[in-house]
Amino acid sequence: MNPYEVMEYEDETGYSQIREWLAELQRSSPRERAKASRLIQKLEQLGTNLRMPHCKQIKGPIWELRKDGVRIYYWQQAKYTTKVEEG
């Protein structure tokens, strides 16, 4: 079990842009989908201890996971919970 919980951001209707984006990546570019999955796994393992080159603070509480063109935005919602959104 990973020490940090990473949750997909959902709007009030239950729509998740990142869920849709990851599904599209799986269909169109499995290699890019694998990169995104590895970034999310790193975030689950390291949480707020994750640093460059895997992430960068964008503005305020918003951070960006990054690898070879794959961008995923995230923010910490609780001590061990992080929300992710497609970048």
Give the number of other Cβ atoms within 10 Å of residue 30's Cβ.
Answer: 10
This prediction has a pTM of: 0.86
Confidence class for position 78, pLDDT limits 50, 70, 90? confident
Q: What pLDDT, on the 0 to 100 scale, is given for residue 87?
A: 62
Confidence class for position 1, pLDDT limits 50, 70, 90? confident
Helix %, strand %, coil % for the chain, to 5? 35, 35, 30
